[in-house]
Structures are given as structure tokens and as C-alpha cells.
Amino acid sequence: MRLLEAFSGTAIQLPNRIAMAPMTRGRADDTTGVPHPRTAEYYAQRASAGLIVSEGVWVDRTGKSGPGIPGLVTEQQTSAWREVTRAVHEQGGQIFAQLWHAGRVSHPGVTGRTPVAPSAVRQAGRIFSAEGWTDTVEPRALSEDEIGEVVQDFAAAARRAVEAGFDGVELHGANGYLIQEFLAGNTNRRADRYGGSVTGRLAFPLEVVAAVTDQIGAARVALRISPGNPENDIVEDDWKEVYSRLLAELRRYELAYLHVIDTPDAEALSHLRPLWPGTLVANLRSEDPTSSGEGESLIESGLADVVAFGRLFIANPDLPARFALQAPLAQADRDVYYGARLDGYTDFPAFEPDSAKSACSACS
């Protein structure tokens, strides 16, 4: 199985080509933003992934998207993450922190603040806040000075990530949050140097990459993108031009990897892979979780070097071993994905061949 082969890139060396995709689980202390005491155990259980990308971690409280999401801003948060990275390293794993600013996909009910965005364009739909599903609010457009401050927030969080023992950081440029809000024409209506043209729309994402690579070195920096992904009310009809230009600018850095979210038709990957000579991690976005068969095809076709699996890792902490054994896969109830509950977090057992039937009542 190609997914189980080791991978050696310019910056990262992995024992297999299976990454754990970043997944928010909502278990952090909602007041302090400190990860839950069991978070170290949760990630250590999953350390057989070639690479773990942590759940999205806010770089500033205004960029916190929902209840129970951890931060990487305070000393207390940094210490708690140090326990997490130590536990993963003890199990032989590697872990990047996903640095996240949610932009307009936030709510005063979550942060106590008005969300910020490139422009004051409200997101259609509803958002999950402390009071449950609630109407979105109109964000406040960031001033040029404030944009510079957010760039520095990313750089400071990257420095803290290294202090906390992370092997690197993945900048969250996907799924309709702040970085993608600058890239997309429907959310970026600015007329200054951060908007207007494709060049302007690229300015903030590129400033973040420049500041973060300057802070911790490009070999420890990755970027996640989701070209054309309509999630969180994004419209990117011109994604081919925008992301081709973005990659042309990024090629000057030897980033740890580029992480591309695509749909199973792999249109974005087919377009962007020839433009990206560096390491490419792919993840598919569809109704069903990315499967081992889809992962194998992505590696076989050369569209990806490494494949990120999300939902399958929730209930299968030992996913690479299960792929190797073609063992049954356990299913997690969607109710446990998020929330301040302890069931459905560290209580999914590893597969035991001898007691497959009794240990795996949730398997299909």
C-alpha cells in the first residue's frame, strides 16, 4: 500500500503518507482557551499518523470561531500544548499546530467582540455560538493597521508553537476563514492595497506567510487552502487564476508542505499539482470521509505525496494499522465530533485482531 510507504520531502520526513487532518473538537476550556487535560492523550493515541495536524488554534481571541476552541496566545495555553507535543513525540509522532483566525466566521456570543473581516460583508447562514445555532452578524472591516497586527498575531503564535514543541505550523487558509476571506472576491471588497485586484487579494495571505517564515523558518511552515470551496459562504469563480498566482508567489519559499482540500473529482489538485514542485498533502471534502482507496489513488496518480484523513481518525486512533490490516473501521457518532464532553474523545480503542468482535461493536 503506497499510503504506508515512508515519505521524504525537502523539509519533512514521515514514516508513512497518512496525515491526521486538523479537526476542531471543542474540548478546550472555553474561558482560558487552554486545551483539555486529555488532549495530550487524544493526540498521542493517534501518533502513528505520519503527521498530525492539530485542531485549529486561534492566534487572537477575536479569531475564535466557536465554543471550546483552544488558543496559542498565553503562557498557560503554551504550557498545555507543550504536554501535548511531548506526548506525541514520546509515541514517535510529529505534530504541526494549525494556526487559525476565523475572520467573519465568529460571533460576539463566542468572543464578546464583533468579528473582523476584510470587508463588512455578513456571512449567509447561521453559526454555532455559546447559545447554540444563531444568526451571523455583520463583521467589521479591518483597518490597514489592524491587518498588520493580525499578521504579527500569526507570527507570535508561530513562535509560541515552536516554544511549545510543535514540529511546525499549518496556516489555515481554507474553508472560508480570514485568510480565504482575503482571497475571495465576494468577501474582499477592499479598494486599498489589500483588495481590488488579484494582486491585492493575495497581499494579506502572502504577508502572513512572509512574517511566519521569517519568525520560524519556511521548513516549519505549511499552508492549507481549499480552492473554490463554497464553505462558509465563499464564492471563488476565479479560483484558477487566484491560486495559480498564489502558488507562483509561494514557490520562492521551501515550505514544509502545501495542504490542498479538494472534492473527489480532484479538479483543483489536477490544476495545482503541476504548479507545486514541493510537498503536497491532499484531503478530500465530500459527504463520506476520505477513504483509503481514494488516498491510494491520490498517491498513485502523483496528485499528492501525503493524504490527510479527518473523520476516520476520530474513531480509529490506529488508522494506519487498520489500513495495513484491512481491519474494520469504527464509526464515530457525529454528536461527539464537537463539545465539552469526554465520551467520543479518548475512548475509541485500537483494533485488536483477536477480540475484533467484542472490541469493535461500532465497526462496520
Ligand X SMILES: Cc1cc2nc3c(=O)[nH]c(=O)nc-3n(C[C@H](O)[C@H](O)[C@H](O)COP(=O)(O)O)c2cc1C
Binding region for ligand X (CB under 6 A): 21-24, 55-56, 98, 172, 174-175, 224, 261, 283-285, 289-290, 309-311, 337-338
Whichever of 128 and 337 has its CB closer to ligand X, that residue is 337
Amino acid identity, position 353: P
| Minimum CB–partner distance for residue 144 and ligand X (Å) | 27
Cell of 131: 447559545
| Minimum CB–partner distance for residue 197 and ligand X (Å) | 27
Comparing every residue's Cβ against ligand X, the nearest one is 310
Partners of 51 in the β-ladder = 19
Whichever of 11 and 19 has its CB closer to ligand X, that residue is 19
Closest CA to 61 of 27, 23, 112: 112
Give the DSSP letter string of 31-85. TT-PPPTTHHHHHHHTTTSSEEEEEEEESSGGG--STT--BSSSHHHHHHHHHHH
Residue 176 buriedness (CB in 10 A; 0-12 / 13-18 / 19+): buried
Closest CA to 36 of 25, 45, 28: 28
Count each helix (H run) and each strand (E run) in the chain, helices first.
12, 14
| Minimum CB–partner distance for residue 319 and ligand X (Å) | 10
Q: What angle do CA 290, 132, 23 make, to 5 degrees?
A: 25
Total length of the chain: 364
SS3 10: coil
Q: Which of 43, 177, 194, 253 is catalytic?
A: 177
| Minimum CB–partner distance for residue 69 and ligand X (Å) | 8
- Give backbone dihedrals phi and psi of 258, rounded to 5 degrees, phi first: -110, 130
Whichever of 86 and 334 has its CB closer to ligand X, that residue is 334
Is 42 noted as a catalytic residue in this protein?
no
Residue identified by cell 495559480 is 244
Between the alpha carbon of residue 287 and those of residues 23, 133, 197, 341, the distances in Å are 16, 21, 34, 25
| Minimum CB–partner distance for residue 71 and ligand X (Å) | 13
| Minimum CB–partner distance for residue 139 and ligand X (Å) | 19
Whichever of 141 and 161 has its CB closer to ligand X, that residue is 161
Whichever of 141 and 269 has its CB closer to ligand X, that residue is 269
Is-contact 14 50, C-beta < 8 A? yes
Whichever of 252 and 341 has its CB closer to ligand X, that residue is 341
What are the catalytic residues?
177
